[in-house]
Amino acid sequence: MTRSAGRSVPRSDARAKVTGEAKYAVDASRPEMLHATIVRSDRAHALIKDIDTAEAAAIPGVSAVITSDDLDGLFPRFGHIVADHPILAIDRVRYYGEPVAMVLAASRHTAADAARLVRVSYEGLPEVMSIAAALEEGAPLLHEERYDHGDESFGEAMSDDWSPSNIAHEVCLEWGDVDAAFTDATEIVETTTHYPMLYAYAMEPYNALATFDEGALEVITTAQHPYQVREDLARIFDLPLAAVRVTSPFLGGGYGSKSYTKVEPLAAVGAWFSRRPVKLALDVEEAIYTTRADSATVTVKSAFGADGMLTARDFQLDLDSGAYADNGPLVLAKAVHRCFGPYRIPNLRVRGRSFYTNTTPASSYRGFGAPQGNLAGELNMDQAAERLGIDPGEIRRRNLLLPGEEVLPGARPLDADLPADLEMVLESLDSSRPRGPLHGIGFGASASDAGAFPVSTATIKVHADGSVTLLTGSTEMGQGSQTALAQIAATELGVPLGSVRVLQSDTAITPYERTTGASRTTTLTGLAIQRACADALEKMMAMVSESREVPVEDVKTSDGVISIPGGGDLTFAEAVQDWFGSRAGEVTGVGIVRKADSTAMLPPFWEIGMVGVEVSVDAETGYVTVDHLATVGDVGYAINPALVEGQDLGAATQGLGAALFEQLIYDGPQPLNPNVVDYRVPRSRDVPRTIDTMLAERRDGVGPYGAKGSGEGALNPIGGAVAAAVGRAIGRWPDRLPLTPEYVWRLMHMETEAE
Amino acid sequence: MTIRTVVNGRPVTEPIPVRWTLAEFVRDRLGLTGTKLSCGMQVCGVCTVLVDGRPVSACSYLAVDVDGCEVTTIEGLADAGSLHPIQAAFVDHFALQCGFCTPGFIMMAKSLLDENPRPTRKDVVDYLDGNICRCTGYQPIIDAIVDASERMTP
């Protein structure tokens, strides 16, 4: 039988998705369901003086208008790291679009009509709309109280000495003697860049359907991490975890933006209050008011020897994290870890700060702090190459970490071959070929401490007919986990792929999975599945040993068959049925991954980004066209190569969006472009002319068959690569993204100070 | 008011609120949830359905305006369980990931190939300018539609 792993088998969810049969959270409904509409703040920072709900409540069809005053007996906030986010604003709003009240009605239209009649009186407070404003002497404070902390294992960014400040979090990293290295340097190169505020635009906006039934809460939602949402909901309603069931069907995009709790508490509060199922489905504008990604200003100073070797790097990262913490502290910590490499740096200092501002809360988005810092770090390498008169490929060759070298003290050594990956990109770009005017190439590298904290469990059930169910708490959000995980199970058990069915992300049924993020699924969930399969096989061999009365050490298995001495081969179905004595029963295999054994050392793997682009710039308009895109998926082993290449092209395309078009713009207290007309994402005409998605399979990962994760890597260095390519094309280095025609045109026509 | 229409070949007579969009009609009344909603302002193409063979954005098209018309949604494409060649090509080319935009792309591709059975690659790219996919980077979708046209008119 052909082994399933390693082949580009078609997606198992493809048929359902091309016929319209695939069910997403937004498609769920219940009898007697009410529809919720949120009344949102039209102020960025204000005290709530009064909420008049009478007129709205009087509309026929309206069941209730709920404000924070109605949450008596509940824990009124959520947040997995810092429980600072009120479900409904308590006395004060901190950003434009913050939920203030919720209307429940028999129809969506009635709820929306009534929501417009809720009158909220505010007393304005001075607003903090930027990092600069947050730092001003005497700046208004967004938060003056210290909130409960969530899961302590997220606590690496938390500190004990606390006083109210708009600096939400600080993370520092230092080794060696940075100041001495700068004193001794041959060349010091300083670069400051600005990374834009982004919106992930998962096409299915956040939505949830909540039901209270016999004291238990059930929520069908768009959450990537249903187990994390369950924690927040259990705390809000003081319920045991067993009484909270969170289900994530197919997600219409995630990209990190559906990590952690978003709209679930609102829907659940509605159901708790009304004793009816409540559906809350946001539109895109509301989704933009729910979560965005951190913008960042990053300054890096690098010291080089005459040989082009880095001797020190000093980074200052400032992230604008918005009004509430959400996953911001972890994004900051990761930004600090991911900005300086993947180079050999004898002396390093990174100072990272994230700031509270009166803007939409920022949280995870694909790459998770990496793109913000990488833009500065990689552009800095290009500028250093220019200054030192060294080819930009060569300066990287000299400084890139080698396999097995230390990236972070105490962390897993580098499990990738970066110089080899670089050569693949340079060859794809034909990098030594001279380019005409207004043409340029750029390339870059990144290494992310990926995989997150390793807690994954998986269950395999071998049924009485030999068919197999794989249960996993990992969510299918487009990345293809349903397919790739089934390929691992089929390979381990030696059964045809078609006999494995996968059930995902239902906290009442599937086994625990900490998150679906940080590119962890193939590696960590994959390992748990391998172990679950081994457990199931071992149990079946023991059963055959008992029912056929042969010593267990004489029982063998391969290719979906259990064999005993004397040539008696049993199918799985026969093994199960023999032991149970009828056409009944099943065998359950359990697999566990935790911070132990091969995943004792963090990160579980380094996720590599190695990309290159060639661009051309229109002389008249400054419009940037991407002529060539090259990515290397350094994934150790591709369980399904087509899925990996799909992840890389998708990630790179999102990176191109941030590099060329995307930015959320605040005009005073209000976002100027909270829609997909004015927030421009890549479209079919923006596809690069040539696309070269390459794979590097060196079996150097900790996952099944040497696999490592993918999904973020190809995004992380894109911004820097495009900025470098445009810089070479026009002869001036950009210092910000996106590289809109207007910005590029201005750069082209700017008189430099020296001129 | 009551509308009379034909949806995926089946005659339908339904009383509906006049403010309903076509998307609400097919999703909430007929249970055809394959048609998705995203931008709500006719720029993402997710909600594309065909009305008398013409692609429209169901998010912004009033349901009353399909009175007397024929409506085709994604559910109307597969024939007795066998995939339409466009659907089959999407499967074969990995032209979807999360799948949320897929019904809209497939309906748009059907409209294109009905109009122009052998489009060039550029024709495909231009025709899809009103459809957003956030996952795939578009190339596999373009490949799938070019391949489907070759399968349908060899």
Where does the pLDDT of residue A157 fall: very low under 50, low under 70, confident under 90, or very high at 90 and above?
Answer: very low
Q: Which of B100, B123, B136 to mutate to test the interface with A (most CBs of A within 10 A)?
A: B100
Q: Do A255 and B87 touch (CB under 8 A)?
A: no
CA nearest A205 in B: which residue? B38
**What is the arithmetic mean of pLDDT over A324-341?**
95
Who has greater pLDDT, A352 or A148? Answer: A352
Q: Do A19 and B83 touch (CB under 8 A)?
A: yes
Tens-place pLDDT, residues A441-477:
999 999 999 999 999 999 999 999 999 999 999 999 9
Q: What are phi and psi of A686, to 5 degrees?
A: -90, 0
Provide the pLDDT for residue A366. Answer: 97
Chain A residues with CB-CB distance to B46 below 8 A? 203
Provide the pLDDT for residue A159. Answer: 56
Q: Do B98 and A650 touch (CB under 8 A)?
A: no
Q: What are phi and psi of A433, to 5 degrees?
A: -70, 130
Pair of tokens at residue A151? 């899961």
Chain A residues with CB-CB distance to B100 below 8 A? 24, 203-204, 252-253
CA distance A421 to A400: 11
Chain B residues with CB-CB distance to A14 below 8 A? 90-91, 94, 96
Tens-place pLDDT, residues A633-651:
999 999 999 999 999 999 9
For residue A309, how far is the Cα from the chain centroid? Answer: 33
Q: Do B87 and A18 touch (CB under 8 A)?
A: yes
Provide the pLDDT for residue A752. Answer: 60
Chain B residues with CB-CB distance to A204 below 8 A? 36, 38, 98, 100
ipTM of the complex: 0.99
CA distance A677 to chain B (A): 7
Q: Which of A11, A12, A18, A286 to mutate to test the interface with B (most CBs of B within 10 A)?
A: A18
Q: What are phi and psi of A448, to 5 degrees?
A: -110, 135
pLDDT at A601 over 70: yes
Among the partner-chain residues B41, B91, B129, the one whose CB lies closest to the CB of A677 is B41
CA nearest B20 in A: which residue? A109
Please count the other Cβ atoms lying within 10 Å of the Cβ belonging to residue A163: 7
CA distance A501 to A484: 12
Among the partner-chain residues A13, A200, A654, the one whose CB lies closest to the CB of B99 is A13
Among the partner-chain residues A23, A202, A677, the one whose CB lies closest to the CB of B134 is A202
Q: For the domain covering A453-598, report its CATH number.
A: 3.30.365.10
Provide the pLDDT for residue A755. Answer: 44
CA distance B68 to chain A (A): 25
Contacts of A22 (CB under 8 A, 6+ apart): A13, A16, A250, B34, B99
Q: Which of B87, B97, B147 to mutate to test the interface with A (most CBs of A within 10 A)?
A: B97
* A644 CB-contact burial (10 Å; exposed 0-12 / middle 13-18 / buried 19+): buried
Domain ranges of chain A: 29-127+201-288, 413-450+603-755, 453-598
Question: Which CATH architecture is the domain A413-450+603-755 placed in?
Answer: 2-Layer Sandwich (3.30)
Residue type for B2, please? T
Provide the pLDDT for residue A160. Answer: 61
Among the partner-chain residues A10, A22, A251, the one whose CB lies closest to the CB of B91 is A10
Chain B residues with CB-CB distance to A482 below 8 A? none
DSSP string, A609-645: EEEEEEEEE-TTT--EEEEEEEEEEE-SS-SSHHHHH
Among the partner-chain residues A253, A284, A685, the one whose CB lies closest to the CB of B39 is A284
Tens-place pLDDT, residues A234-269:
999 999 999 999 999 999 999 999 999 999 999 999
Q: Do B39 and A255 touch (CB under 8 A)?
A: no
CA distance A515 to A510: 13
Please count the other Cβ atoms lying within 10 Å of the Cβ belonging to residue A105: 24
CA distance B83 to A505: 28
Tens-place pLDDT, residues A543-588:
999 999 999 999 999 999 999 998 889 999 999 999 999 999 999 9
Find residue A557's DSSP bridge partners: A562
Tens-place pLDDT, residues A580-600:
999 999 999 999 999 999 999
Residue type for B49, please? V
Provide the pLDDT for residue A146. Answer: 81
Q: Which of B94, B127, B128 to mutate to test the interface with A (most CBs of A within 10 A)?
A: B94
Q: What are phi and psi of A640, to 5 degrees?
A: -140, 95
Among the partner-chain residues B19, B33, B40, the one whose CB lies closest to the CB of A27 is B33
Taking all residues of chain A, what is their mean pLDDT, rounded to a whole number?
96
> How many residue pairs bridge chain A and chain B with CB atoms within 8 Å of each other?
162
Alpha helices in A408-494 (DSSP H): 418-429, 481-493
Among the partner-chain residues A16, A677, A691, the one whose CB lies closest to the CB of B43 is A677
Who has greater pLDDT, A146 or B55? Answer: B55
Among the partner-chain residues A250, A479, A676, the one whose CB lies closest to the CB of B44 is A676
Q: Which of B135, B136, B139 to mutate to test the interface with A (most CBs of A within 10 A)?
A: B135
pLDDT at A416 over 60: yes
Provide the pLDDT for residue A156. Answer: 44
Provide the pLDDT for residue A568. Answer: 83
Provide the pLDDT for residue A751. Answer: 75
Q: Do A478 and B128 touch (CB under 8 A)?
A: no
Residue A418 sits at the vertex; the CA angle it makes with A318 and A338, to the nearest 5 degrees, is 15
Would A29-127+201-288 and A413-450+603-755 be classified into the same CATH topology?
no
* Helix and strand element counts for chain B (H, E): 5, 5
Q: Do B142 and A684 touch (CB under 8 A)?
A: yes
Pair of tokens at residue B17? 């609120």
CA nearest A691 in B: which residue? B139
pLDDT at A519 over 80: yes
CA distance A316 to chain B (A): 32
The CATH superfamily assigned to A29-127+201-288 is: Aldehyde oxidase/xanthine dehydrogenase, a/b hammerhead (3.90.1170.50)
Q: Do A649 and B136 touch (CB under 8 A)?
A: yes
Among the partner-chain residues B77, B87, B94, the one whose CB lies closest to the CB of A11 is B94
Q: Do B97 and A480 touch (CB under 8 A)?
A: yes
Taking all residues of chain B, what is their mean pLDDT, rounded to a whole number?
97
Q: Do B136 and A646 touch (CB under 8 A)?
A: yes
**What is the arithmetic mean of pLDDT over B108-124?**
98
Tens-place pLDDT, residues A86-142:
999 999 999 999 999 999 999 999 999 999 999 999 999 999 999 999 999 999 999
For A583-594, what is the HEC assignment? CCCEEEEEEEEC
Provide the pLDDT for residue A145. Answer: 83
Q: Is A513 helix (H, G, I), strand (E, B) or coil?
A: strand
Pair of tokens at residue A491? 């390979």
Q: Do A19 and B87 touch (CB under 8 A)?
A: yes
Domains and CATH numbers, chain B: 2-76 (3.10.20.30), 85-152 (1.10.150.120)
pLDDT at A204 over 90: yes
CA nearest B78 in A: which residue? A19
**What is the arithmetic mean of pLDDT over B40-56?**
97
Provide the pLDDT for residue A154. Answer: 52
- Residue with tokens 């913000």, as numbered in its chain: A372
